[in-house]
Structures are given as C-alpha cells and as structure tokens.
Amino acid sequence: MYGEGIYFRTNSQSFRNNEDFSINIPSNKIRIICSGDSFTMGWGVSNDQTWCELLTSINQRWQTINMGQGGYGVDQVYLWYKRDGTKFEHNIQIFAFITDDFLRMQSAKFFGYGKPLLSLENGELVNHNFPVPRGSFLFPKITQGSRYIQELRFLGLWQTWFPRKLETYNQYVAQTPAIAVKIFEELAEINREKNSKLVVVYLPIRSDYYGNESDFWRQYLQVELEKRNIIYIDLIAEFRKRMPNEKVETAFLGGDGHYSVFGNEFFANILYEKLLSLPEVGVILQD
C-alpha cells in the first residue's frame, strides 16, 4: 500500500516492530515506549524509517517499542498504553500527538468506525462508549487484496476533498482540554509507579510551519503540564526554527502529509537532542 520496497511489519504483540519484546528491560538497554498516532506509527515509510525506530539508530543502547496507531486520538493512545503498554517495563514513555488527536477525542466514531469516548465525571475519566459498538462501518464491504487497497486510497482522497466535520456541539467538546490534562496526569502517575518518566511531545504537521492552528493547545499544555511537573517538548517551535523554508515540503509525503523518510530523520534527531538536554531524562538515557 505504501509503494514498492516499503514494508510494514508488526510483531506478535501488535506493535510496529520487527521483533518481540521481553517484559523486563534487557540489562544493556534503555527502553522507550513511543505512544502516538500515525505520525508515530510511521505512515508511508518502512519500519526502520520511523522516528521511533530511528532513535535506536542514533543510540544503539536504546530499545524502542512503537505503539503508534493510525487514526488514534489522545484518548485511544492512552487506553491502548494502559491495556498493553503497561505490561512492559520501560525507562521512558514518549507520548506524541498532533493537534487533530485532541479533536478526535470529541466523537464516538472516526470515519464511521466506533471508538471509545471519554468524559470527566467527579474528577475521574469515564468511557461513555464501552464496549465499542460493532455496527455497520463506513466501508462494510471492504474485503481483501486489491479491492482493499483501492478503498484505502479512496479514503485518503476523501480526507483531502472533504475535510471531516467535527461534532462541534456535543457535551465532550468543552471538556476536551480538561480530559487531556487528566490523561497526562494519569500517565505521569503510571510512569512514576513503574520508575519511568513520561515525556509529552507535540509533533508538527505541514501547516504548523506557516499557521497558528495549534496555538491554543501548545500554550494550554505549556502552562498546565508545567504546573504538574510533566515534561513537555514542543517540536513545532523547533520545526519553525530549524527547518529551512525551502526544505519544508521534503519533510512530508505528498497527499496525506505524513512524515517522509527525511522528515522522520529530522524529527528523530531533534527529539534525541531535546531528550538528552533534559536533566531528569538525560541522566536516565546516559546511565
């Protein structure tokens, strides 16, 4: 689906990795879980070209588990980590997202597929769409082989031609910022209990180089996460500062706008540098 010579492989644990992982961290490794959406999963590039895997090329002592999944919002990334990621010992959890991942939290569906829907009640997260209904899907007749690939390509075009209409008038919209912060609070606590560090990372998309669509979330998270002593890295600022204007387009794939091989390398290198510069993280990563 990605093109000739580009491969996508998952291990038996359903992570986008070429190997399975032991529950315990190997004695000579520093383990990082990369949680996120398709920009973390590495849409359009091979396993070893995702920014998550490239961290291990920069430093071979690092071992990364790729828990990125296409179409996931902050809510689903959090729930998947709680269910499957917490089984594994790790030193760092990188929780990465783009602005759209907050908007995805506001609906019980994503392109016709049912998904969890979190609410905040009496200070606790509650799932209002569990179990997720197994009703009719957007493409209920999708089958295997070439037909499946054609439908997926069509879906990509559909996203370009008809940008999704968000449910802007439901009870969950106003709660989204508070729910997001509660998610990060819980993740920070889980990581503390596992003797790990949570690192929250804002990933850029193409439009973030030129526009201010992400400003609310960037500023809100900067303030709220600092109050809670949660590590926050804003790669949008670094993107604008370090990416030459003439190279912006080369960092993204045509059409769907995910990171190209060059884009994954660019952000992997900046993220590596930023992680090492943080005193509370650098001491772990250089131990």
Q: Is residue 24 part of a domain?
A: no
Residue closest to 3 by CA, chosen among 42, 54, 46: 46
pLDDT-based confidence at 135, cuts 50/70/90?
low
Q: Is residue 99 part of a domain?
A: yes
- Looking at residue 95, its amino acid is F
pLDDT single digits (tens) 44-54: 999 999 999 99
Q: Is residue 57 part of a domain?
A: yes
Distance CA 67, CA 97 (A): 12
Are β-strands 109-110 and 113-114 bridged in parallel, bridged antiparallel, or unpaired?
antiparallel
Q: Give buried/exposed letters for 14-31 (b at 16+ CB in 10 A, else e).
A: ebbbeeebeeebeeeebb
- Structural domain boundaries, residue 148: 30-285
The continuous run of DSSP H or E covering 110 comes out as strand 109-110
Q: Is residue 25 part of a domain?
A: no
Mean pLDDT along residues 101-106: 95
Q: Is residue 150 part of a domain?
A: yes
Q: Is residue 236 part of a domain?
A: yes
pLDDT at position 136 over 60: no
Determine whether 85 is exposed, middle or buried from the number of CB atoms within 10 Å of its CB (0-12, 13-18, 19+). Answer: buried
Q: Is residue 3 part of a domain?
A: no
Q: Is residue 82 part of a domain?
A: yes
- CATH label of the domain that carries residue 184: 3.40.50.1110
Number of domains forming the structure of the chain:
1
pLDDT of residue 282: 75
